[in-house]
């Protein structure tokens, strides 16, 4: 099954906690603190893989997490770094941040991309020794890794995109000019997913052509299959608009030409502005009445400044001339488009938010904001560390806010799960 869009959750590893330890060695008195730092958390890394052609793997597994960093230990030993998680994606995948929709990376332009950075490891107690505090019994906790949802969009790497209504002969044309073997049948929407073919246009010259499932009126708004696959011609340097000149479907080729161009314009003005070659297919079965319609189409196309070719893919007539014209036009055009990143990693600016204070069943709950980081960095088995915890809550106004809300002497206060009896 061809899957070209997926949403996944990624979580980088948490940094390991710093260690509280003291040097112990024979004949060495008061060795001092020597707790090591925690290891950094692992990153979530995306790597392009030329052997993948679909995002099918992400349809059933949607959550990915890197390894956590190990805690530090004595003798100033740093914890082991968390293992990176490598996620392989097809070449040409565009990565977007789901929350903002901004492009994070184009996997056709890089060999690896860090989609989520692991958290830093916490400092051991050896960092906190001072002349007046020679035996600190606390360390710093590791920081959490980045956690986010990302959207993976596969955009095929093709030089030329074949567009047009269903059953106009796009798949037949691709099979004639390349070795691709798409499904071909005389009914609409035979092509259910894009097909790629390499077209050789002479010695040392070749290009990649993509056959896009038929577009119908309203495709840019989600009608038919075109909306799902129009993204695959976003990168194309050139579009070949295939029109049914035979009128077998009871449509006017000129009207078909206008409808498809309008759908491309509504989907993406940038895509609609790309160079276009128009190929009137099935010219071998054009009747007298259809010849007049074909002349009107040719006049319209040439007035718009586009090259016009009369071909019959089934009869192999006019296809060589079309291929040569495509190759010549591509030689004048810039390389396949690469999508520039728009996403900037959010930075912590200013202080962390104030905690929320609520009362439930006689217990005062203080949660969120900067107190979560405070609790992580406090060793509640150490008197000096507990005094630091109490002093910080008092200096930063938490006790004052509790008193304004009506806390009483002896009430139970829970700060991020740590409960104590309130004393003024």
Q: Provide the mean pLDDT of the chain.
A: 86
CATH 3.30.300.350 placement within the chain: 356-421
Alpha carbons 70 and 37: distance in angstroms, whole number: 9
**Three-state secondary structure call for residue 254:** helix
Alpha carbons 109 and 118: distance in angstroms, whole number: 23
* CATH superfamily entry for domain 356-421: GTP-binding protein OBG, C-terminal domain (3.30.300.350)
Sorting pLDDT into bands at 50, 70 and 90, what band is 186? low
| Residue 208, beta-bridge partner list | 198
Alpha carbons 89 and 152: distance in angstroms, whole number: 9
Is pLDDT at 329 greater than 90 in this prediction?
yes
Sorting pLDDT into bands at 50, 70 and 90, what band is 3? confident
Question: What pLDDT is attached to residue 132?
Answer: 79
- The yes or no reply on domain 160-332 and CATH 3.40.50.300 is yes
Mean pLDDT to the nearest integer, 171-181: 87
CATH 2.70.210.12 placement within the chain: 1-154
Question: What pLDDT is attached to residue 248?
Answer: 75
Question: What pLDDT is attached to residue 137?
Answer: 82
CATH 3.40.50.300 placement within the chain: 160-332
- The edge-to-edge listing of strands for the beta sheet with 103-106 is 63-65, 5-11, 147-154, 93-97, 103-106
Mean pLDDT to the nearest integer, 272-289: 88
Question: What pLDDT is attached to residue 412?
Answer: 92
- The yes or no reply on domain 1-154 and CATH 3.40.50.2300 is no
State pLDDT tens for residues 196-242: 888 998 777 889 998 887 676 554 555 555 556 677 788 889 999 99
Most confidently modeled range among 170-179, 216-225, 287-296 = 170-179
State pLDDT tens for residues 293-323: 889 999 999 999 999 999 999 899 999 999 9
Percent of the chain scored above 90 by pLDDT?
Answer: 44
Q: What's the pTM?
A: 0.76
């Amino acid at each position: 099954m061809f899957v070209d869009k997926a949403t996944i959750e990624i979580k980088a590893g948490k940094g390991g906690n710093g260690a509280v330890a003291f040097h112990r060695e024979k004949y060495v008195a008061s060795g001092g603190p020597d707790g090591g730092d925690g290891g950094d958390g692992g990153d979530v890394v995306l790597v392009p893989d030329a052997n993948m052609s679909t995002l099918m793997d992400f349809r059933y597994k949607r959550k990915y997490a890197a390894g956590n960093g190990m805690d530090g230990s004595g003798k100033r030993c740093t914890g082991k770094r968390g293992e990176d998680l490598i996620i392989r994606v097809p070449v040409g995948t565009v990565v977007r941040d789901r929350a903002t929709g901004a492009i994070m990376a184009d996997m056709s332009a890089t060999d690896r991309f860090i989609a989520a950075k692991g958290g830093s490891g916490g400092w051991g107690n050896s960092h906190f020794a001072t002349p007046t505090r020679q035996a600190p019994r606390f360390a710093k906790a590791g920081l959490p890794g980045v956690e986010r949802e990302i959207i993976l969009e596969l955009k095929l790497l093709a030089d030329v995109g074949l567009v047009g209504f269903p059953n106009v002969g796009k798949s037949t044309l691709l099979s004639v000019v390349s070795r691709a073997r798409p499904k071909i049948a005389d009914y609409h929407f035979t092509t259910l997913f894009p097909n790629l073919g390499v077209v050789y246009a002479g010695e040392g010259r070749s290009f990649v052509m993509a056959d896009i499932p038929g577009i119908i009126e309203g495709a840019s708004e989600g009608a038919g299959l075109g909306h799902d696959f129009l993204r695959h011609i976003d990168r194309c340097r050139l579009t070949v608009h295939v029109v049914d000149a035979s009128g077998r479907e009871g449509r006017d080729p000129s009207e078909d030409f206008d409808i498809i161009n309008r759908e491309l314009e509504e989907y993406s003005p940038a895509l609609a502005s790309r160079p276009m070659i128009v190929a009137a297919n099935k010219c071998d079965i054009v009747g007298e009445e259809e010849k007049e319609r074909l002349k009107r189409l040719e006049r319209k196309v040439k007035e718009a400044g586009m090259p016009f070719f009369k071909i019959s893919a089934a009869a192999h007539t006019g296809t060589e001339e079309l291929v040569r014209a495509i190759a010549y036009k591509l030689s004048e055009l810039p390389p396949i488009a690469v999508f520039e990143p728009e996403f900037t990693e959010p930075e912590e600016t200013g202080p962390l938010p104030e905690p929320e204070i609520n009362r439930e069943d006689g217990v005062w709950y203080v949660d969120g904001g900067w107190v979560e980081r405070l609790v992580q960095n406090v060793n509640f088995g150490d008197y000096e560390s507990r005094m630091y915890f109490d002093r910080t809550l008092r200096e930063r106004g938490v006790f004052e806010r509790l008193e304004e809300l009506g806390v009483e002497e002896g009430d139970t206060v829970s700060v991020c799960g740590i409960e104590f009896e309130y004393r003024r």
